[in-house]
Chains A and B, each alone.
Chain A
Amino acid sequence: MIEIQNLTKRFGPVAAVSDLSLTVRPGEVLGFLGPNGAGKSTTMKMATGYLAPDQGTVRICGHDIVSDTIAAQQRLGYLPEGAPAYGEMTPREFLHFIAGVRNLSGAAARAAMEHAIAGAELGAVLDQPIETLSKGFRRRVGLAQAILHDPDVLVLDEPTDGLDPNQKHAVRGLIRGMAKDKTIVISTHLLEEVEAICTRAVIIDQGRIVADATPAELAARSANGRLDEVFRQLTTRDTAVTGAAA
């Protein structure tokens, strides 16, 4: 469960996120949508403890991310923007490092690694340095890292960016498979992805929530029943300002 209350973050005079409140419950797959610079990644960075909020609170399974950081982060799997990983390590070494940090050892670590490797389909590249891998494989290494400890809460920043259609399909299947008892937030630019896997879509623009409904409800708001039409209507009113902020 993720509880975000009145979250605000300013960078200089620009409010990247302003007074954002959002609760995501287990079983929900929330698609976090918005134009570039809308505050999606900033919200995720605050929710995972990388950035400190100026105002507001975030609780992960009841643990405050600022005052009880470690307990909150233990329940959290996070794929940061761009799927950063240590390039000189192989996926096997990298996941082994993550398992150590997640306090998994011995048989538990092996089982968790096997599960994550299978889920992210990394078997073919396990022993190649990550920096030599294609963008799609690197993204999947980041995904494997996020799901390794079978967390209650998953925050995935553009999990399918750079994947080919087959890989996208596989990753969506993986997310859907985990959705039953987890709380999942994914940010994406792909509206068809929201329709394919999300039970709820939240659109933000200039750091504020402008829509919060099921993908079907949102699509129904437009004349032609298409989600991208609604997205454009909701987020293009102040394009010039948004562009400057980005």
Chain B
Amino acid sequence: MSLLWPVFKREFNSYFATPLAFVFIVIFLFAMGAFTFYLGHFYDNGVADLSVFFGYHPWLYLFLVPALAMRLWAEERRSGTMELLLTLPIPLWATVLGKFLAAWAFAGLALILTFPIWITVNYLGSPDNGVILASYIGSFLMAGAYLSIGACVSSATSNQVIAFIISVVACFLFTISGAPLVLDAFRSWAPLPLVEAVSSFSFLMHFSAITSGVIDLRDVIFFFSLIGLFLYANMLIVDLRKSG
């Protein structure tokens, strides 16, 4: 367990060693604001809540989170540090988890920096802060799920652009798996339970359940098991590539 910390710390600091952290946070905050106030007509709605703000989170994460995750493993492979990392006496699970947690913590930091909008809405009216807190937790869990997909894809390639594009597509499918676009492809041939299983993978469904203010244990378990599943796949991919 003690080896998780150096891996986490190095990975987390590496975001700040380049302009990446700054660029990411600025764009994240700017996009959040733009979506909420212009596309979402935050003021015109005349309601003091943040449902509009949180409604855009899945769509922003779709592009921004793969950008955070794409370098996690692909960069190590490209620069050759993979060989160093895998010959240091760190258990593979600690390397995988440490890297993931660093990216997740960074995403959490970006999310926390959206706090001015929470202050704004409290200044304008009296929103249900319980719902807002639940939504923040839900948003953070969803970011983790997107990140685990991105980390897994990143471990399969040494090309960050490929990692990004495949992650976006995979994340997109998970986001909208409850929508007709995906379900219609299954409905024609698959039995109903399978169609329902596919639709239950929808991030939108689980996230909107949480943003309604109820943190249902099932939604939390969904996101955590998805993270666990993709990190396990991430480990298998790294291990598999050892055999050449």
Interface residues of A (CB under 8 A from B): 9, 11, 45, 48-52, 54, 69-71, 73-74, 76, 78, 80-82, 84-89, 93, 97-98, 100-103, 129, 145
Contact = CB atoms under 8 A, between A and B. Distances in A.
B80 A9 contact: no
B244 A101 contact: no
Contact of B90 (A54, A82, A101): A101
B14 A51 contact: no
Contacts of A52: 242-244
Contact of A80 (B10, B14, B87, B242): B87
Given A11-B244, A85-B81, A86-B81, A49 B6 contact: no
A74 B3 CA distance: 13
Interface of B: 2-3, 5-7, 9-10, 13-14, 17-18, 79-84, 86-91, 242-244
A88 B18 contact: yes
The B interface is mostly helix, strand or loop, or mixed, namely: helix
A64 to B, nearest CB: 14
Contacts of A49: 86-87
Contact of B17 (A50, A73, A89): A89
A98 B88 contact: yes
B6 A82 contact: no
A89 B79 CA distance: 14
B235 to A, nearest CB: 14
B27 to A, nearest CB: 20
A70 B91 contact: yes
Contacts of B3: 100-101, 103
A50 B5 contact: no
A103 B84 contact: no
B106 to A, nearest CB: 15
